[in-house]
Amino acid sequence: MSGVVVRNPPRADQEVVDGLAACGVSTVHEAQGRTQLLDPALRPIYAGARVAGTAVTVSVPPGDNWMVHVAVEQCRDGDLLVVAPTTPSQAGYFGDLLATSLAARGVCGLVIDAGCRDVADLTRMQFPVWSRHVSAFGTVKETLGDVNVPVVCAGQWVRPGDVVVADDDGVVVVPRESAAQVLAAARAREAKEAVSRGRYAAGELGLDVNAMRERLARKGLTYVDAEETR
């Protein structure tokens, strides 16, 4: 049943993609109702990257990275590669050669629910990768998989053309159809948080900034002095 490469899937609007990257993972995740965050076990191989791209998806067999080579050809400027093995694998599917190839095509990063290697080189190249493992363990090239079909990656459903946002907080996927709307919500949240941040920095409390005191009291919150509890 495997062995299909889908060409020319729909692409997300690059302006929306860039806007989502600027907002970052935590804000985007909140803006779409706290959904579609990938398993936090996926970590960046170096700190400080923040990217978003249109997902090119790859379904790979365990320990076999052949289809990653196939997928590179389907990538364009602004894409982000998403690799999901059909069963858990710690193998190092990806290293500096594939990164060189992807960088040459304008791909902004890789999200992989498996292992990555050559991390010192990738850090030098500043090619960002979010992976479950760092592992030198090599892969074979024996079995087909699929490119640009929907995949489950680290617990989330990712379709080719969806937007994937990744930074030091993790990885979130935004469906292409709702991306513009999520961006608007994310920006609104950012604007609101900027105001709150100023008030917090000035010493105001979240209890007051968010008007929480009355609801807390209704729920039964009580204050006692330590003296009284002895």
> 206-225: which residues touch a copy of itself (CB under 8 A)?
206-207, 210, 212, 216, 219-225
Provide, rounded to whole angstroms, the least separation between the CB of residue 118 and a copy of itself.
Answer: 6
Provide, rounded to whole angstroms, the least separation between the CB of residue 173 and a copy of itself.
Answer: 11
Taking CB under 8 A as the rule, does residue 123 contact a copy of itself? Answer: yes
Q: Helix, strand, or coil here: 8?
A: coil
Beta bridge partners, 79, equal 54
CA distance 22 to 25: 9
Among 82, 98, 129, 186, binds a copy of itself (CB under 8 A): 98
CA distance 123 to 119: 6
Provide, rounded to whole angstroms, the least separation between the CB of residue 36 and a copy of itself.
Answer: 9
Provide, rounded to whole angstroms, the least separation between the CB of residue 226 and a copy of itself.
Answer: 4
- Sign of the four-CA dihedral 220, 33, 183, 52: positive
Taking CB under 8 A as the rule, does residue 91 contact a copy of itself? Answer: yes
Among 90, 180, 187, 190, binds a copy of itself (CB under 8 A): 90
* Burial category of 209 from C-beta neighbours within 10 Å (exposed 0-12, middle 13-18, buried 19 and up): middle
Residue labelled with tokens 């489950």: 152
Please, which of residues 159-198 interact with a copy of itself by CB under 8 A?
160, 167-170, 172, 193, 196-197
CA distance 223 to 83: 51
Among 51, 60, 81, 119, binds a copy of itself (CB under 8 A): 119
Q: Which helix (H) or strand (E) holds 43?
A: strand 43-44
Taking CB under 8 A as the rule, does residue 2 contact a copy of itself? Answer: yes
DSSP 193: H
Please, which of residues 26-65 interact with a copy of itself by CB under 8 A?
26, 29-30, 32-35, 37, 39-40, 43, 46-48, 50, 61-63
